[in-house]
Amino acid sequence: MPWREIVACLIGAALVLLAAWPLGWFPAYANYCYYDQTGHEHCASYHIVLVALFHAGKLLSDASLVITAIATGFIAYFTLSLKQSTDQLWQANTQQIAIAKKSADAANVIASAAVRAEQAHVYPVVDAQNIVEKLLSWNQTGNPEILRGITVSYYLKNFGKTPATIIQAGHELVHAANPPQDARGINSFLEVVKVLGPDDSTDPKDCSLQNLSADDAGSVLDGKTTIWFHGFVTYQDVITGTDVDRHLEFWWWYNGKLPRFGWYGFQGSESRHPDA
């Protein structure tokens, strides 16, 4: 029988005894006769409840160590159960916090992506170039005059969904072993602020390399050095407003190891005005 049912039975029996005693179902007094006494009238009379309580107290006193051990065991079991429940609750709370953090991070990423999708995005588009043609022609003929007027023609286009205000833009065509890294030395070709709506473009601009020697041309064709088309654009959009400038620096390249003149890379950034 489970221990809970045993306890319930004992409590029920005690309640029955307590209820039956006032009703007189059990005698209140009893005579106790020693072995040498024969008549009940000469035997000592004892109150049954008091005697029972006395013996029960004596039994509890004799079994105090056992009761203490049992009680300690129950307390230890309860403490262990409480600790396990607390650990499980802590683990569940930790998991919930981690899930909430991931959900918040995902929501921030989605919100940022949504904002980015609506912003203006200005990129350069190369319309024409004669770098490859002139170098290959020079390599066949050896005529140094062919190396004059190496040019890249391009324009800036807004690929975003909101208007872009071009603040500054510039370009250069240089011969170097490594990509140019500092766009601050490039002179801007925009003298006034220009607004580009979605899918709008600036007028084409020519960027020329005037002095490329025969030795430099040979170095480019051998893949030792490179002709770099390098530029930048700074603009603002409607969403971030005039407090934030968005910057884009870009590179195209060509040398004899490449199949064609092509995109090398770009680097974007944002800067907030100090007084914003």
Higher pLDDT, 242 or 254: 254
- pLDDT of 71 > 90? The answer is no
Q: How far is CA 182 from the centre of its chain?
A: 33
Q: Residue 100 CB: number of other CB atoms within 10 A?
A: 10
Alpha-carbon span 212 to 230, nearest angstrom: 17
**DSSP secondary structure code for residue 188 in this structure:** B
| Nearest Cα residue to 199 out of 235, 155, 251, 169 | 155
Exposure string for 27-36, b = 16+ CB within 10 A, e = fewer: eeeeeeeeee
Q: Is 214 helix (H, G, I), strand (E, B) or coil?
A: helix
**DSSP secondary structure code for residue 239 in this structure:** T
| Nearest Cα residue to 162 out of 67, 55, 239, 100 | 239
Report pLDDT digits (tens) over 32-57. Answer: 565 555 555 556 655 566 566 666 66
Report pLDDT digits (tens) over 94-115. Answer: 777 666 566 555 555 454 554 4
Query: Where do runs of H (alpha helix) occur along 119-213?
Result: 131-141
Contact between 118 and 239 (Cβ < 8 Å): yes
